[in-house]
Amino acid sequence: MPATLDLSGTVIVSGGNRGIGYELSRGAAEAGANVAILYRSAKDADQVAAKIGAEFNVPVKAFQCDVTEQESVKSTVSKIDKEFGPVTGLIANAGVAELRPALELTRADFDKIYNVNVYGVFNTCQAVAQLWIDRKFTKGAIVIISSMSGEIYNTSAPNKALTQVFYNSSKAAVTHLGKCLAGEWAPHGIRVNVVAPGYVNTDQTKDHPEEIKSYQANNTPLGRFCHPAEQAPSAVFLLSEKASFITGATLLNDGGYTVW
Ligand code: NDP
């Protein structure tokens, strides 16, 4: 089937080796981009990249890079740009979650969640924006994968008292971070937008107890979890030239979760 959206150059997808990120990598490859996958510790990232590359006949390569390590992010982004192909887009997708009551959470939990979900996103955005500003590239586009949990008081469980407070608040922070970066980098032609998914079937949600999962599905107006592939088109659209006047926006892709 021909792709209806076109991307050119290299798109970096952090956490692009599995879950939603895997489908974001496939979506970018289908639209014609070269795809550079950043992963933290996956053993099969090279095979995943090769599989996507073969499926869409475009170069796809995996790069080990912890998004919380500033120097590693800078040098990896620069290496991708020089050796793999000029970077034109970034999907800052890597994220981690906790599902524990607030009274059990510790400073270590806070650091773990915020370090990846907020600082890690900032790090990758900063490295890519610096590259574009240095070479006066005025068509760069960034999509941040946040969450609908950043928009609302999202109860994750039937007793309405389990809210993933660090995760949800980190997503509120990163959604606003996206708006701030959109404003600051607009004079350089860099667009920054946010996609906020609802509940998606991935490793992040697979261990939620069945009672909680059915509560979450039943509280989604469309009545089900999202397939990860359903998150890709919105991100690819926002990266593409078709979205050339859209910046600072948050696109909710949540099955209607936030309407009630
Ligand atoms: P998964 O747990 O399935 O995958 C997480 C990905 O992030 C993996 O590729 C992992 O790499 C990577 N990653 C984690 N930490 C780092 C790090 N420090 N450096 C580099 N890569 C890292 O997550 P999902 O696919 O479910 O989620 C993707 C994004 O979507 C996240 O931001 C999440 O918060 C958000 N989201 C998810 C929802 C859901 O219901 N699943 C709902 C709303 C938002 P590795 O494999 O090497 O560990």
Looking at residue 1, what is its pLDDT? 46
Looking at residue 100, what is its pLDDT? 85
Looking at residue 209, what is its pLDDT? 84
Nearest-atom index, ligand 1, CA of 21: 25
Q: Looking at this predicted complex, what is its ipTM? A: 0.99
Q: Which residues of 15-44 are buried (b: 16+ CB within 10 A; e: fewer)?
A: bbbbbbbbbbbbbbbbbbbbbbbbbbeeee
Which residues are near ligand 1 (CB < 6 Å)? Answer: 14-15, 17-21, 38-42, 66-68, 93-97, 116, 120, 145, 147, 197, 199-200, 202-205
Give the separation between CA 39 and CA 167, rounded to whole angstroms. Answer: 20
Looking at residue 158, what is its pLDDT? 76
Round the average pLDDT of the chain to a whole number and report it: 95
The whole-number mean pLDDT for each consecutive block of 10 residues of the chain, a chain of 260 residues, reads: 80 98 98 98 98 98 98 98 98 93 94 98 98 97 97 78 88 98 98 98 90 91 97 98 98 95
Q: What is the pTM of this model?
A: 0.97
Looking at residue 260, what is its pLDDT? 79
Looking at residue 161, what is its pLDDT? 67
Structural domains of the chain, with CATH: 8-251 (3.40.50.720)
Per-residue pLDDT reduced to its tens digit, 160-177: 667 789 999 999 999 999
Retrieve residue 110's tokens. 């806070």
Give the separation between CA 218 and CA 210, rounded to whole angstroms. Answer: 12
Amino acid (1-letter code) at residue 78: S
73: left (phi over 0), alpha (psi -120 to 50) or beta: alpha
